[in-house]
Amino acid sequence: MGIAAAMAGCTKSTPKGFDQLAPEGRIEAIVDAARTGDQNAIPELIGGLDSDDGAVRMLSIRALQRMTGQTLGYDHAAPEWRRREAVERWMAWAGGRGEPGGGS
């Protein structure tokens, strides 16, 4: 399923942004970041991997995969402890990559 297809049922009335409480607003921000390849959004996408909302987690990892070509073993449906291990790998990856668009 593509990211755009996942958005088909979302309305535009919810404010968009990674800091929104409503998952719909975060989802729109994730989709925009993936569509535009916004490397500056990578920290927020990594943050989305820890979301309580399964759709936010799924779309965050799909966006990261689209931008970086990797998942670092993250599975949005895995138990929380397993997701946490993968989020730590993502955080280490992001910390070692320098500026957006650098390193892999």
Contacts of 5 (CB under 8 A, 6+ apart): none
Q: Thinking of the domain 3-8+15-95, which architecture would CATH place it in?
A: Alpha Horseshoe (1.25)
Quick: pLDDT tens for 19-73: 877 888 899 999 999 999 999 999 999 999 999 999 999 999 999 999 999 999 9
Separation of CA 75 from chain center: 12
Contacts of 10 by beta carbon, 8 Å cutoff, 6+ apart: 24, 27, 28
CA 76 vs. chain centroid, Å, equals: 10
pTM of the model: 0.78
Q: Break the chain into its structural domains and give their ranges.
A: 3-8+15-95
